[in-house]
Amino acid sequence: MASKILIAIVTVLAGIGGALALYWLLNKLAGLLPNKTEERVKPYLFILPAYLAIFVFLIYPTIQTLFDSFRDASSSGVVGLENYTELLTSSDFRDTIFNTFLWMLIVPIVSVVLGLAIAVLTDRLKPQTEKLAKTIIFMPMAISVVGAAVVWNFIYEVRPAGQPQIGLLNALGGAVGLDPIAWLEQSTLHLNSLLLMVVLLWGQVGFSMVLLSAAVKGVPVDTMEAARIDGANEKQTFFQVVVPQIKGTIITVYVTVIIGVMKIFDIVYVMTNGNFNTNVVGNEFWNQFSTFFHNGRAAAIVVMLMIAVIPIMIYQVRHFRAEEANA
């Protein structure tokens, strides 16, 4: 344990020291140039490490992944569009895409709605009670996704009939005389996928609540009082005055959650590993890469996921620019 702490401290100090030394060196190099040239060149020298990091850790891997998606399992031979056609013509992969779409459709909307509802309700509590309530709701954010999956595994756990049920749901069902149910195997109407979504929502609602609560508190009281004077009730005031003024935050939270949902992996991998028709794109990538050792298909999945994310990112950038222009 002590050695790990020492390694962590050395790593942090080396990273900070290396960054300081790098910028000190760049500053010295800029100082060797004539004054006018130094003023022009120095800003570019200072942002050069960031651009290099973006190229090495983002742009180059993206290009490499794109090329690998047209290669075979070992990335040694070119197979053209074969990886894409095999995936898209597979019924299992189409089910995987549909499951991912369900996650994208349900989780962001529910996360925003619950986060906004909790934010509004807790804001009406006394200050100390509000802080306690928000702390409890936000607490799951401090737990890793894998840890949350393990916790909820105990809630959905099932044992054969006649044995003590350690799973909370089956223990409660047994108390009223119901037979134990293998919850994560119930694929009818995608019930097991919905139960997996609950795990993510449990950890995600606190994030939505914090951002939306800050936005709600930032709404000018004068506008709400003016609406009430004009005869608006609480429901009308909320939907016609408060919501339009926090629309930007709502969109930001929604987009952030939907991007996270598109690459969801941990919960599915830990709880079902994609079995019982619960597979999602992130888990399928992992299976292709580490289980089937097919680099080509894994890369093709990443490329398709990247293409799906790009329109959302473009919309988010345009939204930010519009918000800045109206500010």
The per-residue pLDDT for range 126-148, each reduced to its tens digit, is 888 988 998 899 999 888 888 99
pLDDT score recorded for residue 66: 94
pLDDT score recorded for residue 28: 84
pLDDT score recorded for residue 113: 95
The CA distances from residue 119 to 23, 48, 203, in Å, are 43, 42, 15
Residue range 230-259: mean pLDDT, rounded:
89
Number of domains in the chain: 2
pLDDT score recorded for residue 78: 92
Domain boundary among 43, 68, 93: 68
| pLDDT band at residue 323 using 50, 70 and 90 as cut-offs | confident
Q: Are residues 60 and 86 in the same domain?
A: no
pLDDT score recorded for residue 287: 93
* pTM of this structure: 0.86
Q: What is the mean pLDDT of the chain?
A: 89
Q: How many CB atoms lie within 10 A of CB 247?
A: 13
Q: Are residues 112 and 42 in the same domain?
A: no
| pLDDT band at residue 92 using 50, 70 and 90 as cut-offs | very high
Q: Are residues 44 and 136 in the same domain?
A: no
| pLDDT band at residue 297 using 50, 70 and 90 as cut-offs | very high
Domain boundary among 41, 68, 95: 68
pLDDT score recorded for residue 70: 95
Q: Are residues 92 and 14 in the same domain?
A: no
The per-residue pLDDT for range 53-80, each reduced to its tens digit, is 899 999 999 999 999 999 999 888 999 9
Q: Are residues 11 and 101 in the same domain?
A: no
The per-residue pLDDT for range 2-45, each reduced to its tens digit, is 678 888 888 888 888 888 888 888 888 888 878 788 788 888 88
| pLDDT band at residue 49 using 50, 70 and 90 as cut-offs | confident
> Quick one: what percent of the chain has pLDDT higher than 70?
99
The 3 state secondary structure assigned to the chain is CHHHHHHHHHHHHHHHHHHHHHHHHHHHHHHCCCHHHHHHHHHHHHHHHHHHHHHHHHHHHHHHHHHHCCECCCCCCECCCHHHHHHHCCHHHHHHHHHHHHHHHHHHHHHHHHHHHHHHHHCCCCHHHHHHHHHHHHHHHHCCHHHHHHHHHHHHCCCCCCCCCCCHHHHHHHHCCCCCCCHHHCCHHHHHHHHHHHHHHHHHHHHHHHHHHHHHHCCCHHHHHHHHHCCCCHHHHHHHHHHHHCHHHHHHHHHHHHHHHHCCCHHHHHHCCCCCCCCCHHHHHHHHHHHCCCHHHHHHHHHHHHHHHHHHHHHHHHHHHHHHHHC
Cα angle 113-199-97, degrees, rounded to a multiple of 5: 85
Query: Do the domain assignments include residue 268?
Result: yes
| pLDDT band at residue 184 using 50, 70 and 90 as cut-offs | very high
pLDDT score recorded for residue 1: 64
Domain that holds residue 37: 2-68
Query: Do the domain assignments include residue 180?
Result: no
Q: Are residues 17 and 125 in the same domain?
A: no
